[in-house]
Amino acid sequence: MEEELAPYLEDSFGNATRLDYGSGHETNFAALLFCLARLGILVPADGPALVMRVFSKYLELARALQRVYCLEPAGSHGVWGLDDYQFLAFLFGAAQLAGHPHIRPSSIHSADIVETYGDQYLYLGCVRHVLAVKKGPIATTSPMLNDISGVRGGWEKVTSGLVKMFKGEVLMKLPIMQHFLFGSLLPFPEEAGPEAESGPGAPGAAPRAPAPPPPRFAP
């Protein structure tokens, strides 16, 4: 299975030719963990440690690579993205905070909470990173995060909305998934075949539609 696992690991840290990194590379790392679970190496009980230890360390390394090599954001939505590079970090972070008695989605506007709990809660750590990199108020530099902070229904609602957004903005985007590899551990879904054959560029395909509007968070 090494020939299937190795590409996911290699593609988890950006593209050495384009010198870029984006949510597609992050997804490759998640795919690696998924395949290890399919092999029985990881079990459901490992979930919390995989996020708070393994994925958190991966996130630190990915950010170091972004900074040291000045990697371009791959497929970034600019201010309409959660972050220029990451997506799953916010999704996992929102799930971690589900049911928290005091920290709310609106708590990202409290500098004290973000700084105090940024090392403990992944979502707050992501917000702290955005504030440090973009050096401005969330409402101005990251309107998507600002919109999420006003969601009613708490972190459970935020988490479900981010799952939908991840499917629509990452897993269903051709520029991202055209580079993704499939195999016996992670097979290509059969129902996607006819759609792929009739996609843009296929014989008889309809003209390419105009670019879609910026993504919106839909809880």
Pairwise CA distance, residues 155 & 1, whole Å: 37
CA atoms within 13 A on the CB side of 39: 13
Pairwise CA distance, residues 204 & 189, whole Å: 23
Owning domain of residue 116: 2-184
Pairwise CA distance, residues 214 & 35, whole Å: 32
User: Within a domain: residue 208?
Assistant: no
CATH assignment of the domain containing 149: 1.20.120.1150
β strands within 75-177, DSSP E: none
Which of 9-13, 23-27, 203-207 shows the lowest mean pLDDT across its residues? 203-207
User: Within a domain: residue 203?
Assistant: no
Pairwise CA distance, residues 155 & 135, whole Å: 25
User: Within a domain: residue 112?
Assistant: yes
pLDDT at 198 exceeding the cut of 70: no
**pLDDT tens track for 105-139:** 999 999 999 999 999 999 999 999 999 998 888 98
User: Within a domain: residue 207?
Assistant: no
User: Within a domain: residue 158?
Assistant: yes
**pLDDT tens track for 133-152:** 988 889 888 999 999 999 99
Instruction: Identify any residues that bridge with 74 across adjacent strands, giving them in sequence order.
Output: 22
User: Within a domain: residue 55?
Assistant: yes
User: Within a domain: residue 135?
Assistant: yes
User: Within a domain: residue 170?
Assistant: yes
**Total domain count, the chain:** 1
pLDDT at 80 exceeding the cut of 80: no
Instruction: Identify any residues that bridge with 21 across adjacent strands, giving them in sequence order.
Output: 73
Pairwise CA distance, residues 169 & 166, whole Å: 5
List, in order, residues 6 or more apart from 198 with CB less than 8 Å away: 204, 205
Please report, rounded to a whole number, the percentage of residues in the chain having pLDDT higher than 90.
71
CB count within 10 Å of CB 180 equals: 17
